[in-house]
Amino acid sequence: MIRFSKPSIGNLEERYVLDALKSLPLSGDGKYTEMAVRFFKERLHIPHILLTTSGTSALEMASVLLCLEPGDEVIVPSYTFSSTVNAFMLRGAKPVFCDIRTDTLNLDETLIEGLITPKTKAIFTVDYAGVPCEADTILNIANKYCISVVEDAAQAVGSMYKGRPAGTLGDIGCYSFHDTKNYVMGEGGAVILNDDKLVERAEIIREKGTNRRQLQLGLVDKYTWHDIGSSYLPSEILSALLCAQLERFDEIMSKRMDIWNLYHKKFEELENNGYLSRPVIPENCLHNAHMYYLILNGYEVRNKLINYMKHSGVLAVFHYIPLHSAPMGVKLGYNASMLPKTEEYSSRLLRLPLYPDMSLGEVETVISLLYDFFNKN
- Beta bridge partners, 148, equal 122
CATH node for 249-376: 3.90.1150.10
Q: What angle do CA 2, 128, 278 make, to 5 degrees?
A: 65
**Nearest Cα to Cα of residue 103 among 82, 128, 124:** 128
Q: What is the pLDDT of residues 293-344, one digit of tens each?
A: 999 999 999 999 999 999 999 999 999 999 999 999 999 999 989 999 999 9
- The Cα 152–Cα 129 span in angstroms is 11
Amino acid at 252: I
* Domain 11-247, CATH among 3.30.479.10, 3.30.360.10, 3.40.50.300, 3.40.640.10: 3.40.640.10
Q: What is the pLDDT of residues 140-179, one digit of tens each?
A: 999 999 999 999 999 999 999 999 999 999 999 999 999 9
The continuous run of DSSP H or E covering 111 comes out as none
Residue 215 has pLDDT above 90, yes or no: no
Residues listed for the chain: 377
- Beta carbons of 339 and 320 less than 8 angstroms apart: no
The set of residues, in sequence order, having a beta carbon less than 8 Å from that of 213 and lying 6+ positions away, is 29, 203, 204, 206, 207
Domain with CATH 3.40.640.10 in the chain: 11-247
**Nearest Cα to Cα of residue 363 among 354, 372, 371:** 354
- Beta bridge partners, 350, equal 294
- The Cα 286–Cα 267 span in angstroms is 20
pLDDT reported for residue 290? 98
- Beta carbons of 116 and 357 less than 8 angstroms apart: no
Confidence of residue 250 (pLDDT cuts 50, 70, 90): very high
Is residue 112 left, alpha or beta, with left meaning phi > 0 and alpha meaning psi from -120 to 50? alpha
pLDDT reported for residue 216? 80
- Beta carbons of 118 and 77 less than 8 angstroms apart: no
Amino acid at 302: R
Q: What is the pLDDT of residues 28-82, one digit of tens each?
A: 999 999 999 999 999 999 999 999 999 999 999 999 999 999 999 999 999 999 9
Q: What angle do CA 298, 107, 103 make, to 5 degrees?
A: 45
**Nearest Cα to Cα of residue 256 among 344, 313, 180, 329:** 180
pLDDT reported for residue 24? 86
pLDDT reported for residue 213? 84
Residue 283 has pLDDT above 90, yes or no: yes
DSSP 296-324: ES-HHHHHHHHHHHHHTTB--B--PPPGG
Domain with CATH 3.90.1150.10 in the chain: 249-376
pLDDT reported for residue 343? 97
- Beta bridge partners, 172, equal 150, 193
Q: What is the pLDDT of residues 190-214, one digit of tens each?
A: 999 999 999 999 999 999 999 988 8
- The Cα 155–Cα 126 span in angstroms is 9
- The Cα 182–Cα 132 span in angstroms is 15
pLDDT reported for residue 217? 78
- The Cα 52–Cα 105 span in angstroms is 27
